[in-house]
Structure 1
């Protein structure tokens, strides 16, 4: 599992496995945010398997599937709500990139665009391609 810290409250990762959930809980993660559509994975690591493992570990679970190139305002709002839940969170997808994109979009206007892009870059994600989207959201007040 490749955990990349975005903030003290959020780490992102590629696909996690149900058997990794107890270790995440022990490490202080309280919320699991699944940004990976079930069509990309098999039943052993789909939303049902991850939800069951998270709930068995006493964690909150949110499912916000993000198909590449298909961002909606509802997804950004749902991600913002999940990120506002108490406790440390993990958001995951195939590589962590889509989870980082959604995080940046939720922060549009709250933090300077350059800071968001810098945080993402420090975690290994190049979000420069969504700069115009971040700036448009910031202008509209997300």
Structure 2
């Protein structure tokens, strides 16, 4: 399991398994967010199994599937309040962790500087500098 901390409220990870959930709970995460559609790829764990494991270990479960490479403003509109209201810290996962990072970055752009967001993502191992125009668009939504 490859958990990458973005900040004190959220970390991201590539695909997890039901066997990983006990360790995720032990590490202190309160909310598990799945940003990967069920059956996106042959052989990936079933979301129902991950949800059951999350519940068994006392984690809140959020299933918010987003198509890779096609994050819409509606996706961001759903992600932003979910992250604000979720029990912290949050662990979000998808195939590689990139989709979760992009969702976080675009939602955070409404309240934080793009420079700060890019730096946090870079520290977690994700280069999202190409999102600058879209982050600027999201920042404009709060004006």
1:5–1:25 distance in 2 versus 1, CA, 3 Å: same
Q: Does 1:103 align with 2:90?
A: no
Q: Which runs of 4+ in 1 moved over 3 A?
A: 41-44
Aligned alpha-carbon RMSD (Å):
1.6
| Counterpart position of 1:23 | 23
| Counterpart position of 1:53 | 53
TM-superposed deviation, 1:82:
2.5
User: The residue matched to 2:11 in structure 1 has which SS?
Assistant: strand
| Counterpart position of 1:88 | 89
Q: Distance in 2 between matches of 1:30 and 1:52?
A: 15
Contact in 1 for aligned 2:17/2:45 (Cα 8 Å): yes
* Structure 1 residue runs without a partner (length 5+): none
TM-superposed deviation, 1:16:
0.5
Q: Distance in 2 between matches of 1:82 and 1:42?
A: 28
CA deviation string 1:53-103 (max 9, x = no partner): 111111111111121222122211221232121221100011111100000
| Counterpart position of 1:121 | 122
Contact in 1 for aligned 2:60/2:87 (Cα 8 Å): no
* Structure 2 residue runs without a partner (length 5+): none
Contact in 1 for aligned 2:17/2:50 (Cα 8 Å): yes
Q: Distance in 2 between matches of 1:75 and 1:66?
A: 7
TM-score (norm 1): 0.92
Contact in 2 for aligned 1:35/1:92 (Cα 8 Å): yes
TM-score (norm 2): 0.92
Task: Give the count of matched residue pairs.
Answer: 142
TM-superposed deviation, 1:44:
6.2
| Counterpart position of 2:38 | 38
